[in-house]
Structure 1
Amino acid sequence: MKDRIAKAATHEILQRGLKFSIRDVSDRLGISTKTMYQHFESKEQLIGFIVEQSVLEMQEKEKELMGDASLSTGQKLNQALTVLPSGFAFSDIRALDELRKLYPEQWMKMDHYLTQGWDNIRLLINEGIANGELRQFDVELFIQVYIGAVYRLMDVQAVGLRGLKLEKALSDMVEFMLIGIRFVNKKEE
């Protein structure tokens, strides 16, 4: 039942952002709010559960990528930097910003993953440098630029990216970081 409730709450977040109510979720499921409160004591607890499940799914997807022998190091790196859980409740950058501003305790779980979960990325980068797929560069600076860019994207008012989907933003950002914006002369390759 917890998973059903979380899925319904995810639909509400995708439609309304974090301004949904427990009543909205219970109505979507056709159950009483009393039943909802038997599984989640509060809206904050429900949001925390969704965040935890999202982080676990991202970690699992990253683990699968690391073991996928059919992908090159560069492909693994690209996919690992853009991994999101399926049906991600915070796929709209505004909802992610709302999480950060309105639910700081729940945001800390997402923030921890964003700022601390870099071991596999470091491994991929070092592997790419060792096999000649990537040039030598400052890995820690790369990580800080990535984190800074994600935080800047969440500053919706400053950036003015209304309705921008996180998946598209991450994909474009990672393309800028891994490939750049320079035209490559075929003779240089």
Structure 2
Amino acid sequence: MKDRILKVSISEAERKGFRFTMGELAKQLGMSTKTLYGYYPSKEELLNEMINLAIDELKKKEEEILHDSALNLLEKLQKCLVLVPADFKFAQLQYLDELQRYYPKQWETLDQFIHEQWSGIVSLIDEGIAANQIRPFNKEIFIEVYVGGLYRLMEHASKNRNMISLQDTMQEMVDILMLGILKENVHKEN
């Protein structure tokens, strides 16, 4: 039953963000609110489980990417950067801002993950530098630009209520970070 509750909760988060009520969720599940509270005594506990499930899924997918022999180093790097945190089921960028505003403890868990889950990516970058596929650069600044960009985009999406997907936003941001803004031939001419 807990798996079913989680699945419907994730679906509600995709549809409405994190501001769904336990009453709405119970109705979607076809059960009483009292029964739902028997499984999850608070919405915060349910959100904790949703966030932890998403984080575990991200870690697993990153490991799969890192060990995928069909991908080259740069493909792995690009996929990992878009994966963190793009693979969350909560598809709209402003929903992450909603989580930050209304559920600070749950946001803290996600925020900590976003700031700390860099070892695989840093290893790929180091490997790329050693193989002369990536120019040396300050990885700490890169991480701060990535995280800061994500958070700024969240704020923008929340204020403008545009429905750009997290996946599309992360892909565009990573393309800019990895490829820059200059056309390849312009870069070589200078």
For the aligned pair, the TM-score class normalised by the smaller chain equals: over 0.9
Amino acid at match of 2:125: I
- TM-score between both structures, scaled by the size of structure 1: 0.92
Range with bigger deviation, 150-159 or 55-64 = 150-159
Correspondence for 2:138: 138
Correspondence for 1:125: 125
**Are residues 171 and 112 of structure 1, via their aligned partners in 2, closer, same or farther at CA, if it must alter by over 3 Å?**
same
Q: Please say if residues 97 and 155 of structure 1, whose CA atoms lie closer than 8 Å, have aligned partners that are also in contact.
A: yes
Q: Please say if residues 57 and 85 of structure 1, whose CA atoms lie closer than 8 Å, have aligned partners that are also in contact.
A: no
Residue 16 of structure 1 deviates from its aligned partner by: 1.7
Q: Please say if residues 122 and 139 of structure 2, whose CA atoms lie closer than 8 Å, have aligned partners that are also in contact.
A: yes
Correspondence for 1:67: 67
Correspondence for 2:176: 176
Q: Please say if residues 8 and 28 of structure 1, whose CA atoms lie closer than 8 Å, have aligned partners that are also in contact.
A: yes
Q: Please say if residues 77 and 124 of structure 1, whose CA atoms lie closer than 8 Å, have aligned partners that are also in contact.
A: yes
Unaligned runs of 5+ in 2: none
| Aligned 1:6-17 pairs, distance under 5 A | 6-17=6-17
> Aligned to 1:185, what secondary structure does the other structure show?
helix
Distance across 1 between alignment mates of 2:96 and 2:154 = 7
Amino acid at match of 1:110: L
**Are residues 32 and 165 of structure 1, via their aligned partners in 2, closer, same or farther at CA, if it must alter by over 3 Å?**
same
Residue 187 of structure 1 deviates from its aligned partner by: 9.8
Percent identity over paired residues: 36
**Are residues 69 and 109 of structure 1, via their aligned partners in 2, closer, same or farther at CA, if it must alter by over 3 Å?**
same
Correspondence for 1:101: 101
| Aligned 1:35-46 pairs, distance under 5 A | 35-46=35-46
CA-atom RMSD in angstroms: 2.1
Residue 164 of structure 1 deviates from its aligned partner by: 1.3
Moved over 6 A (4+): none
Amino acid at match of 2:163: G
